[in-house]
Amino acid sequence: MREKIYTIPVTDAFKEECECPVCILEKKLEDEYIEYILGPSLMEPDGRAETNKNGFCRHHIQMLYSIQSTRHALALILDTHLSEQNSKLKKMYLDKSDALKRDSEISMVKNISNKISSKQTETDKFLDSLIKELTTLENSCAVCNKLNYTMDRYMDIVLYLWFKEDDFRALFNSKKGFCLRHFRLLAESTKKYLGSKDAAIFLENLLKLQLENMERIQQEVNWFTKKFDYRNNDAPWGNSRDAVPRSIEKIVGHCNLK
């Protein structure tokens, strides 16, 4: 296999023994981005602008907080993020405070007269814009943005290698399939990067591999349940002893199971 610097992370991940090599690839990237945000990005204006604007999802804020040696760096990031978000909310409120007051006074009069209007009030409009702003923030994450962008590039490389490198195709086909989330990502990438003929070729191969391994993991979980029957006390575990955590990762991807 003719490896280049941009293919090495992909081929290294696919050499790992696991339920989903794309999870291995993504986890390595995720750790690198967490380290970057708490390190070099801290002093870069563009990096701070992104964290100030987007903040972090629940998963990645937990990862950032778990690194105790960088709590000061995290505090600096949170300080400016909160400052920017507070300014946005304050401006939204001040821009509409007079209208909210008018609506409250009108509502009191209408309640007294028992008249209800179906017309959208300024309060309704403000609520819509407030909910939209909060929903956008809740669904944004500086780490996710970087991760999604790079993973998209890597999926393009996976497809390129599968068609161009016989050794990689054999390596790909020797794997135990993928978690359902990365199975979806591969399917989306097939649609995005391949023509109809190549998409059909790759998808047929991918589906066979995935279905075979989804059935395998289900059978391993099934045998795990049957081992609790006293009649199977002396029967060998086979590959089922750790089937439950592996099946969870097959369904949802990499997660920290305790």
Tens of pLDDT, residue by residue over 38-59, are: 999 988 999 999 999 999 999 9
Q: Which amino acid is at 6?
A: Y
Q: Is residue 39 part of a domain?
A: no
Q: Is residue 144 part of a domain?
A: no
The parent domain of residue 100 ranges over 71-139
C-beta of residue 126 within 8 angstroms of C-beta of residue 104 = no
Q: Which candidate, 117, 157, 131, places its Cα nearest to that of 29? A: 157
pLDDT band (50, 70, 90) for residue 3:
low
Whether residues 231 and 200 share a domain: the answer is yes
pLDDT tens-digit series, residues 109-133? 454 445 555 577 888 888 889 999 9
**Rg of the chain's alpha carbons, rounded to an integer?**
26
Q: Is residue 78 part of a domain?
A: yes
Map tokens 């399917």 to a residue.
187
Whether residues 126 and 159 share a domain: the answer is no
Residue 170 tokens, joined: 């054999």
* Per-residue pLDDT, 5: 79
Q: Is residue 80 part of a domain?
A: yes
* Per-residue pLDDT, 118: 57
Whether residues 101 and 155 share a domain: the answer is no
Query: Is the pLDDT confidence value at 98 over 90?
Result: no
* Per-residue pLDDT, 257: 81
Whether residues 111 and 174 share a domain: the answer is no
Q: Is residue 66 part of a domain?
A: no
C-beta of residue 60 within 8 angstroms of C-beta of residue 38 = no
Whether residues 155 and 248 share a domain: the answer is yes
Arithmetic mean of pLDDT, 219-227 = 95
Q: Indicate the range of 29-43, 56-70, 117-131, 153-167 predicted with least confidence.
A: 117-131
C-beta of residue 165 within 8 angstroms of C-beta of residue 1 = yes
Q: Which amino acid is at 108?
A: M
Arithmetic mean of pLDDT, 21-28 = 97
Query: Is the pLDDT confidence value at 68 over 90?
Result: no
* Per-residue pLDDT, 113: 47
Q: Is residue 118 part of a domain?
A: yes
Whether residues 191 and 235 share a domain: the answer is yes
Q: What percent of the chain has pLDDT over 70?
A: 94
Q: Is residue 40 part of a domain?
A: no
pLDDT band (50, 70, 90) for residue 2:
low
Q: Is residue 232 part of a domain?
A: yes
Counted domains in the chain: 2
> Which is more confidently placed, 117 or 167?
167
Whether residues 135 and 156 share a domain: the answer is no
> Which is more confidently placed, 4 or 140?
140
Q: Which candidate, 179, 160, 181, 178, places its Cα nearest to that of 169? A: 160
Whether residues 80 and 134 share a domain: the answer is yes
Query: Is the pLDDT confidence value at 108 over 80?
Result: no
Whether residues 241 and 162 share a domain: the answer is yes
Q: Indicate the range of 24-33, 100-109, 142-151, 152-161 predicted with least confidence.
A: 100-109
Of 105, 139, 173, which residue constitutes the final position of a domain? 139
Query: Is the pLDDT confidence value at 22 over 90?
Result: yes
Neighbours of 49 (CB within 10 A): 13
